[in-house]
Structure 1
Amino acid sequence: MSFAPFTAELVAWMPPGMRLPLVAAAEVAAKETGGVEESLVVAGVLLSLVAIFIASKLGGELCSRINLPPVLGELVGGVLVGVSALQLLVFPEGGMQATDSLLMQFLESTAGIAPETTQAVFTSESEVISLLSELGVIILLFEIGLESDLKELIRVGPLAAVVAVVGVVAPFVAGTAGLVYVFGVPTVPAIFAGAALTATSIGITAKVLSELGQLNSQEGKIIIGAAVLDDVLGIVVLAVVASLVKTGEVEIANVLVLAVSAGAFLIGAIVIGRFLSPLFVKLVNEMNTRGQLLLMSLIFAFALAYIANIIQLEAILGAFAAGLVLAETEKRHDLQEKIEPIADLLTPVFFVCVGAKTDLGVLNPFEPSNREGLIIAAFLIVVAIAGKVVTGFTIFGKPDINKLAIGVGMIPRGEVGLVFAGVGSASGALTESTEAAIIVMVILTTFLAPPLLRVVFQDEPQPTPSPALDAVSGAIVEEKTVEAVEAAGEQR
């Protein structure tokens, strides 16, 4: 029994932007695997995407309904369908075979293909899913850049800058040194794990601060400003560390060159991009074809990602820089609306794949060989919390500021920490125990931060709203009053 006609029909209904990469990848994979029919590879990819999207939606909806970041649900959903649980979505780089994948077994039974053909399809399908996962993280960083305010980054106060720098340096140094000198972890994986400790999730903290009414307090402004800077510094650190993984060597001169290159690339891309952005807007406005804004923006983002990649930096740094540049144009809001469906399509692939590749079995305490991973996880959690809490106490001359609240607000790693774990996993820099330990650290810090913030702010008075907020509130009240009067008149 063959599902080739049915698969071909499904592919024909897919959007061109999604269909062409899949078919092209399938054709290449078919040539490399001895002429495997491309429709079988596409069928395997479609099955995998069904499992990925179901896992991401179920996990995301569950977390959303209990006031937790949906991205955590996507990660947990990936763990459930991956090597740690159902084994629907597995990858060859983890030593898995087609016989280990329930999806491949289902494809083999329904399509009536031989086991050796199934193995070839499994290899090709995994390559396509990994490619889509990489595109997902590029789109994610492009979207993050679009949501960032470059002017606010430039105007951020010195207090927020100090908190951000300490929040990156302290956990990175403590984590890397501890893993190398205490646990004997190889240098490159230790540096990558240390870099994963530098992240801060601005989205999670901002939501909690808003719920507590502390978003406009002194502490709230410092936390948000520092978290924004922290994301920028973290992305630069990620680009440097990922480049170190490619070279396989850790040399001070090489680190300095990479750090300077990352900073120069980011600044240069922003400066040149802001100079060219009026031409970009003019070109888009003069085009008459459909999708001109989205496609031209993706051309710009992918071009910068390519440049970053060929100069031994991470492609995500170029995508982030492109987002920052385009966020300064008049097309920002329109572009955000258009990029969201693309992000909704591809970023779950990235996060679910991160979870699927994570073997939590290495953290089983009943296995003596796993106890090292558990100890590393506990160490990373302690450093992750302490390395951020200390940032609040670096502020001097402000006795009225809740320093503990500032430190606690920097704790959650969220989606940014998962980006580090995903890139580390894809590059092969992390051992299984270290990767699983990072995932556990990200999950626990993200879960702990909201209740801890509520505790440290529970005795704080509600901040006085600003005149601007008062004006808005007054306008809303006035509008509601007018509506009520009109409604009463109609009833009479």
Structure 2
Amino acid sequence: MTNYFLQAFIYLVAAVIAVPLARRFGLGSVLGYLIAGVVIGPVIGLVGEETSVIQHFAEFGVVMMLFVVGLELEPKMLWAMRNRLMGLGGLQLTLTTAAVAAIALYFEVQWSIAFTIGLIFALSSTAIVLQTFNEKGLNRTDGGRNAFSVLLFQDIAVIPMLAFIPLLALPELVEQAQQAATQVATKHEEISLVAGLPPWAYAIVIVAAIAILVVGGHYLSRPLFRFVASSGVREIFTATALMLVIGIAALMSLVGLSPALGTFLAGVVLANSEFRHELESNIDPFKGLLLGLFFITVGAGIDFGILWQDLGLILGLTLGIIVLKALVLLLISPVFKIGKSDRWLFALSLAQAGEFGFVLLSFTVQNHVLPSELAQKLSLVVALSMMLTPGLFILFERFIEPRYRSAKADREADTIDEHGSVIIAGVGRFGQVINRLLSANGIKTVVLDHQISQVDMLRRINVKSYFGDATRPDLLHTAGIEEASLLVVAMDNRDSAVELVKYVKHSYPKVKVLARAFDRGHAYLLRDAGADFIQKETLLSALELGADAMKCLGFHPFHVEQQKNTFKRIEKRSSDMLYGAWKDDSSGERFDNNYRKLFIELEETIKAAMARDRNDKYAMSERGWTPPPKGYDELLDGDEPLTVKRVDEPLPSTPGDEQIKP
């Protein structure tokens, strides 16, 4: 028992240290797990032969992952994405598999092995790519959206791969496995419902098992989940979710099918269930932990002797796979009208092999499709290609995208033939509202945006705008920054927004700069750069929606307006104090303990202000409101009147907050 505790502790310590460090350096959690396995395995030698045994247990994380993938595949979403999903994803998978298999056949590799290698290397890393897209804000780009379609198709394609690959088993490997099994007698034999059945009976059993899975999942799961949910015990619902996944995996194993295939089908069946999100939230922690353990065992199982022995071959294969996949993606991107920098983002982001490659390699060895020595070399190629992925994104960001951006700006920047008192930099969803309000009041504006599609869209609705990068000094000069009264910064790139504010306040200090901030930290950076007025983009809309929520709960509109104004007043009053704490932090963290303490005090102040009874007075900004009549809360519908918690302690008066007796 002590050994089990020690091994579990070693694996967990490795994950706790390596994964956060990998995320911090932009490598992704999957690479963090792999590096952790390499360190505790081949490098230090803390784990050894038990790794293969643990890996069999950890593979259940793959089963859970495919169940969650199935839960997320709603038929409506798949139908809406059908063209990109089937066309782009199917073409990428087919061409990459064919190209890799053809090269392997050229080097006289057996056709079944060549085809299997092609399938494995056709897949890309969903975990690394989507995480990097989220971190770098590339999800909404054309290249990012198309890459997501391909990744989704690849995840779905793993299911038929798992069903098809066992048919490619090599007779000599099967014979060797049977001899080994005969020599090593085992006390526990695998239980099977199809052992010794004729082919026609085996087919009937498989069809019956799938039918039970689909029909039972559709008609029996809901009554079961309702019964369990009625108990109100969360851990029982978690046990039910695990029971469902384990039971389906066991059923598929009994009839000789892949457990992953069964759980994926079950997930698709339950995708429209009202319990889908609850199932996903209960399964997700187990899935993440077991998947992490699986990747650690993959890293721990890497044989560095093989790596150093065939270093040139493995590095050559790694670079060759990346180049080959990138070329295939670059060739098919014009067919789906993916152009310019998006084309390179699409190609480079999917050029690596993926985490499912480890799953398929382990699966091929178990089903006697690939020799274990070859699978180990291919595992090294998959791992190295994933480790090079951050470098591919750096290549895109630092060398490819700037070249397209500068060439595009130099070639297509519009000639600005009129000036206005206000220049608006960025006319996305935020800047458009500002421009409409100012234009409706007869204020002349000059609208700039660096996205040509955004400018064309505005022109189609008769809003005059100009394509160009507002951070370019020459373009600002052409737009008339010297004569302008205001510059409104509503750009989507937060770093560019800060640099623009800094440049304008330094070069044209008389120009008032009004800036949109994404969050509190961005607001502090803009203020530090010299912006005259800053508005956090979500603050007012969130306050309005919160006010609507209070009204829906029965609060009188007058009281809601008072509370909303109180929140805004205290938030504005505390802004200078919090900004000072943020700016004075010498540790570089910016949000240190002193700042957190002040923020907590702000929250307590807001709560106290909200609890104050103000029915006897109101501010000048509220004089147009009619206070609620006495006994209003008792007139509300319902068995129990809705009341507002009140306290009698008065708040300290605020300068400028004039109170008027009603």
Aligned 8 A contact 1:301 1:323 in 2: no
Give the aligned partner of residue 122 of structure 1: none
Give the aligned partner of residue 22 of structure 2: 63
Code of the aligned partner of 1:273: G
Higher relative contact order (CA 8 A, sep 6+): 1
Q: TM-score when scaled to structure 2?
A: 0.52
Which structure shows the higher strand fraction?
2
Give the aligned partner of residue 282 of structure 2: 338
Q: Tell me by how many angstroms 1:395 deviates.
A: 1.7
Instruction: Please say if 1:89 is aligned against 2:66.
Output: no
Q: Tell me by how many angstroms 1:345 deviates.
A: 3.4
Question: Greater shift after overlay, 424-433 or 196-205?
Answer: 424-433
Give the aligned partner of residue 439 of structure 1: 383
2-structure distance, mates of 1:48, 1:427: 28
2-structure distance, mates of 1:464, 1:328: 38
Q: Give the 5 Å matches for 1:420-459.
A: 420-424=360-364, 429=370, 430=372, 431=374, 432-444=376-388, 446-454=389-397, 456-458=400-402, 459=404
Q: Give the 5 Å matches for 1:256-275.
A: 273-275=217-219
Give the aligned partner of residue 80 of structure 1: 39
Code of the aligned partner of 1:54: V
Tell me the alpha carbon deviations over residues 319-369 of structure 1, each in whole angstroms, 9 at most, x when there is no partner. 2333333343222333333223323432222111111111133222xx4x6
2-structure distance, mates of 1:234, 1:373: 24
Code of the aligned partner of 2:90: V
Tell me the alpha carbon deviations over residues 288-336 of structure 1, each in whole angstroms, 9 at most, x when there is no partner. 6662322222222223323443454422222233333334322233333
Aligned 8 A contact 1:52 1:349 in 2: yes
Q: TM-score when scaled to structure 1?
A: 0.68
Give the aligned partner of residue 198 of structure 1: 122
Code of the aligned partner of 1:306: A
Aligned 8 A contact 2:354 2:382 in 1: no
Question: Greater shift after overlay, 417-426 or 316-325?
Answer: 417-426
Q: Give the 5 Å matches for 1:177-326.
A: 177-182=102-107, 184-242=108-166, 244-245=168-169, 273-287=217-231, 291-326=235-270
Instruction: Please say if 1:386 is aligned against 2:311.
Output: no
Tell me the alpha carbon deviations over residues 407-439 of structure 1, each in whole angstroms, 9 at most, x when there is no partner. 334334443334334434555634232332233
Aligned 8 A contact 1:156 1:225 in 2: yes
Give the aligned partner of residue 357 of structure 1: 301
2-structure distance, mates of 1:68, 1:243: 36
2-structure distance, mates of 1:406, 1:51: 38
2-structure distance, mates of 1:242, 1:216: 39
Q: Give the 5 Å matches for 1:166-177.
A: 166-177=91-102
Give the aligned partner of residue 484 of structure 1: 568
Change (3 A) 1:190 1:303: farther
1:134 to 56, 59, 83: 59
Code of the aligned partner of 1:152: M
Tell me the alpha carbon deviations over residues 144-181 of structure 1, each in whole angstroms, 9 at most, x when there is no partner. 43455453223214134211012211221221222233
Code of the aligned partner of 2:571: A
2-structure distance, mates of 1:242, 1:443: 29
Give the aligned partner of residue 510 of structure 2: none
Compare CA radii of gyration and give the structure with the larger one: 2
Question: Greater shift after overlay, 341-350 or 58-67?
Answer: 341-350
Question: Greater shift after overlay, 267-276 or 373-382?
Answer: 267-276
Change (3 A) 1:199 1:43: same
Tell me the alpha carbon deviations over residues 100-122 of structure 1, each in whole angstroms, 9 at most, x when there is no partner. xxxxxxxxxxxxxxxxxxxxxxx
Change (3 A) 1:198 1:272: farther
SS in 1 for 2:273: coil
Aligned 8 A contact 1:153 1:229 in 2: no
Question: Greater shift after overlay, 330-339 or 158-167?
Answer: 330-339
Tell me the alpha carbon deviations over residues 58-95 of structure 1, each in whole angstroms, 9 at most, x when there is no partner. 2211111112211111011111222x32222222xxxx
Q: Tell me by how many angstroms 1:389 deviates.
A: 3.6
2-structure distance, mates of 1:377, 1:424: 20
1:156 to 54, 63, 81: 81
SS in 1 for 2:279: helix
Which structure shows the higher helix fraction?
1
2-structure distance, mates of 1:313, 1:387: 33
Aligned 8 A contact 1:301 1:319 in 2: yes
Q: How many equivalent pairs are there? A: 401
Tell me the alpha carbon deviations over residues 24-72 of structure 1, each in whole angstroms, 9 at most, x when there is no partner. xxxxxxxxxxxxxxxxxx3333322222222222221111111221111
Change (3 A) 1:290 1:199: same
Change (3 A) 1:213 1:309: same
Code of the aligned partner of 2:569: V
Code of the aligned partner of 1:225: S
Aligned 8 A contact 2:252 2:259 in 1: yes
Tell me the alpha carbon deviations over residues 202-232 of structure 1, each in whole angstroms, 9 at most, x when there is no partner. 3433344445544234443332223212211
2-structure distance, mates of 1:464, 1:269: 51
Change (3 A) 1:160 1:406: farther
Give the aligned partner of residue 29 of structure 1: none
Give the aligned partner of residue 15 of structure 1: none
Aligned 8 A contact 1:266 1:317 in 2: no
Measured on the aligned residues, the alpha-carbon RMSD in Å equals 4.1
Unaligned runs of 5+ in 1: 1-41, 92-124, 251-260
Q: Give the 5 Å matches for 1:13-32.
A: none
Code of the aligned partner of 1:360: F
Unaligned runs of 5+ in 2: 175-204, 409-424, 435-517, 519-535, 544-563, 574-652, 656-662
Give the aligned partner of residue 347 of structure 2: 407
Change (3 A) 1:166 1:181: same
1-structure distance, mates of 2:44, 2:157: 37
SS in 1 for 2:43: coil
